[in-house]
A and B are shown apart, each in its own frame.
Chain A
C-alpha cells in the first residue's frame, strides 16, 4: 500500500477518534502528537515513494536500452549464422589444404621412387606430375577466399560486440579459473605458437644461441 494511502487512513482514524467524546486530556494530547507524527511521516514516505519510483523508472529504462542493444548485437545471427559459417569455412580450408598437400606429396614421392631408365617416359611422367602439382595449388585461391569470409565475419562480430560494450559501459570481468590455468600452462611450457610474418628469431641467430655457452650474461644480452 502506498505511503500516502496509509497516511490518509491513519489520519482518518485519528479524526474519528477526535469526534468521539474523549474526556481524558492526555489522550487528546497523544492523538494530537500522533496527528503530527502522521503528517511528518507522510512527507517522509512520500519522498521515499518518489525516489523508489525514480529508481524503478531508471531500471526499466536501462533494461529496455539493454534489450535494444542486445537486439542490435543480433546474437542469434552471430550464433546461428556467422560463427557456424566461419567454422565451416575454416574446416573447408583445412580439408582443401590437406587434399592439395596429399596430391603434391604423392606426386613428389612417386617421382622420387621412379628410376629414370627410359628418359622419354620419365620426362612424360615428370610433366604429368608437375601438371597435377600445379593443379593442386589452385587450393590457394579458394582458401584465400574462404579465409577472407572468416576474417569478415570476425570483424563483423568484433564491431557489434565493441559497440555493445561501449554503449552499455561494460568492463571486462576477471578470466575464469580454467582460462587462467591454461594461460599459466602455456607460459610455463613456452607455448607461443608461430610468429606472424615468419620466425621471430632467425635460424642463424638460433644457431649462435645453440652454439654459445649461454651463461647468464649471454642470456641477458639476448634480451637487450
Chain B
C-alpha cells in the first residue's frame, strides 16, 4: 500500500531546535503535515484526539519520557497500532532492547541524517 504523503506525523521532543530539524527533514522528504509535542504527556493527549500516521519521539523528556509514551501508546486500544520511531541519544543496548520489547517500530540514534530518517521511515511505512 502506498504511503499517504499527507498523513499527519507527530514529532515529540523537548528541544524546539530538534523538532525544527526533524520538521525540515520531513518537509524535504515530502511530508508536510507535521504536528509537534514537547513531552510524552502532551503527545498522548494529542494522539487521543487525532489519529497520526507516524510518531517520531525522543526518549529523554520530562515529565513523561518517550519510553513511557511508547508503553502507553501500545497499551491503549485506540493508539496501539500507530507506527512509532524512537529518535534518541540513548544508545545503550538496554535502551534498544527495552524499546523493542515495548513495541517500537524503529530506532534512530542521534546525531542522524536525512538519509537515515528516510530509510527508517521507509522500513516502517513502506517505500515512498
Q: A: which residues have CB within 8 A of B?
A: 98, 101, 105, 108-109, 112, 189-195, 199-203, 206, 209-210, 214, 219, 222-223
27 contacts between A and B (CB under 8 A): A101-B17, A105-B20, A105-B21, A108-B24, A109-B24, A112-B27, A189-B68, A190-B67, A190-B94, A190-B95, A190-B98, A192-B90, A192-B92, A193-B60, A193-B90, A194-B89, A195-B91, A195-B92, A201-B92, A203-B109, A203-B112, A209-B93, A209-B107, A210-B100, A214-B97, A214-B100, A214-B101
Given known pairs A190-B92, A190-B98, A209-B100, the reply for A98 and B112 (CB within 8 Å) is no
- Are B91 and A194 in contact, with the CB atoms below 8 A? yes
Tally of chain B residues near chain A (CB < 8 A): 31
- Are B67 and A200 in contact, with the CB atoms below 8 A? no
- Are B93 and A191 in contact, with the CB atoms below 8 A? no
Q: B: which residues have CB within 8 A of A?
A: 17, 20-21, 24, 27-28, 59-60, 65, 67-68, 89-98, 100-101, 104, 106-110, 112, 116
Min Cβ gap B64→A in Å is 10
- Are B17 and A189 in contact, with the CB atoms below 8 A? no
- Are A192 and B95 in contact, with the CB atoms below 8 A? yes
Given known pairs A195-B91, A201-B93, A209-B100, the reply for A112 and B107 (CB within 8 Å) is no
CB closest residue in chain B, given A102: B17
Main secondary structure of the interface of B (DSSP, over half): helix
- Are B109 and A209 in contact, with the CB atoms below 8 A? no
